[in-house]
């Protein structure tokens, strides 16, 4: 029974739920008023972003959005590089406000500072690295003509390069799930680099929070609003430069999910979380799945005197071996679809295990990491 329960959990998490949510998803409802005229404040929280801040500001100022309806707030969270000096060239731009924290306090604290100064109906959160299509703000704000929409996230696209994808295609699956959740009820979380929300619905977040891009939208859902996914609002970013960078990003994110549950237990309440089914299926079970995989392997080994379980045990070893080949082909800049996907799957589950242990032992204390 333990073996069957573990198998069921893994299969449901990675195959069953994506298929179920795709079945539940209906057609995208057309916007009744596609042209919106909301006043928007763009918020950028940055730490040591000198390499990107000028490109980021130029990109935002070039958005196809009425300048008198657009404001930009930049919070420098105690950078130790040239970020603040580079920002001074925008100090006289009428719709740009520059804020500087005296010390590095973390992204959540920087967001709280910016939100305290944001006065417009809509706020738009982004990071320092990305670039946008010129119509991103128009596409996102158009959804707020529906009074039931509280937040909208866009589509983060990783630029193609010569290197293989360190995620093994995982991000494409993740976006597909989010789009289907959006069409059913609400997405579980947003992409931190590209999302907009109604200012009145956003409360200050805990200063040590890792996943503001999950807590903020889930709080909005709790208030009875929907969180949408807009596939045509496109942001561009570079792929992780190495497997190590991608691994540490995943560890941080998955540890952050445990932190979120510990700090906001209402997320597990059917009465307080209107999308509990999606939250459990998308977030919680993904944290448990790697442990279930370990259980299936141990059970198969203990029952290896039975031919069926012997075959299952060797199949698991073979899949692990193919994932290992995936790591090798990635190092050689070769992408073979099956082994690349197994590599990405292995990376995700290894990060989930390490993220869980870091959370349990209080080791996840970083304030700013690539994400």
Q: Which of 132-136, 204-208, 325-329 has the lowest mean pLDDT?
A: 325-329
| pLDDT (0 to 100) of residue 177 | 96
Place of tokens 């805990």: 206
Instruction: Assess whether pLDDT exceeds 50 at residue 143.
Output: yes
Q: End-to-end alpha-carbon separation of the chain, Å?
A: 39
Give the Cα separation of 289 and 121 in Å (integer). 40
Strand order of the sheet with strand 70-76?
96-100, 70-76, 40-46, 122-126, 195-198, 149-158, 226-237, 131-132
| Percent helix, percent strand, percent coil in the chain, to nearest 5 | 50, 15, 35
Would you place residue 85 in the very low, low, confident or very high pLDDT band (cuts 50, 70, 90)? very high
pLDDT digits (tens, 9 = 90+) for 281-290: 999 999 999 9
CA separation, residue 203 to residues 137, 152, 184, 191, 229 (Å): 22, 17, 26, 18, 21
pTM score over 0.85: yes
Higher per-residue pLDDT: 370 or 122:
122
Give the Cα separation of 297 and 293 in Å (integer). 6
pLDDT digits (tens, 9 = 90+) for 270-279: 999 999 999 9
| pLDDT (0 to 100) of residue 102 | 85
- SS3 of 343, please? helix
Please classify residue 4 by burial: count the beta carbons closer than 10 Å to its beta carbon, then call 0-12 exposed, 13-18 middle and 19+ buried.
Answer: exposed
Chain-centroid distance, C-alpha 287? 15
pLDDT digits (tens, 9 = 90+) for 105-116: 899 999 999 999
Nearest to 223 by CA among 186, 175, 193: 186
Would you place residue 339 in the very low, low, confident or very high pLDDT band (cuts 50, 70, 90)? confident
Nearest to 209 by CA among 250, 255, 153, 256: 256
Would you place residue 364 in the very low, low, confident or very high pLDDT band (cuts 50, 70, 90)? low
């Amino acid at each position: 029974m333990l073996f069957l329960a573990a198998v069921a959990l893994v299969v449901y998490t990675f195959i069953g739920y994506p298929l179920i949510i795709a079945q539940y998803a209906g057609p995208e409802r057309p916007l009744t008023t596609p042209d919106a005229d909301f006043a928007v404040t763009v918020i950028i929280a940055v730490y040591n972003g000198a390499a990107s801040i000028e490109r980021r500001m130029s990109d935002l100022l070039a958005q196809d959005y009425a300048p008198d309806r657009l404001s930009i707030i930049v919070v420098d969270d105690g950078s130790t590089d040239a970020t603040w000096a580079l920002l001074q060239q925008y100090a006289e731009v009428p719709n740009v406000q520059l804020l500087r924290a005296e010390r590095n306090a973390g992204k959540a604290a920087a967001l709280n500072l910016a939100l305290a100064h944001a006065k417009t109906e809509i706020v738009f959160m982004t990071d320092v690295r990305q670039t946008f299509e010129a119509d991103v703000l128009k596409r996102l704000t158009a959804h707020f003509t529906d009074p039931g929409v509280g937040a909208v996230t866009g589509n983060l696209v990783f630029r193609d390069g010569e290197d293989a994808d360190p995620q093994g295609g995982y991000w494409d699956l993740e976006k597909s799930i989010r789009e289907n959740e959006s069409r059913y009820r609400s997405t579980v979380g947003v992409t931190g680099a590209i999302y907009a929300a109604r200012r009145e619905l956003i409360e200050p977040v805990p200063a040590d929070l890792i996943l503001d891009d999950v807590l903020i939208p889930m709080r909005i859902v709790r208030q009875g609003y929907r969180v949408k996914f807009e596939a045509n609002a496109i942001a561009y970013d570079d792929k992780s430069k190495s497997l190590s960078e991608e691994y540490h990003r995943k560890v941080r994110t998955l540890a952050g999910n445990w932190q979120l549950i510990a700090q906001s237990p209402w997320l597990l309440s059917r009465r307080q979380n209107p999308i509990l089914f999606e939250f459990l299926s998308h977030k919680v079970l993904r944290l448990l799945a790697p442990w279930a995989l370990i259980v299936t392997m141990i059970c198969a080994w203990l029952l290896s005197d039975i031919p069926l379980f012997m075959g299952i045990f060797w199949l698991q070893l073979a899949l692990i071996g193919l994932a290992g080949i995936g790591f090798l082909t990635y190092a050689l800049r070769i992408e073979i679809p099956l082994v690349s996907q197994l590599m990405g799957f292995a990376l995700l589950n290894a990060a989930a295990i390490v993220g869980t242990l870091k959370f349990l032992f209080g080791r996840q204390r970083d304030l700013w990491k690539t994400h």
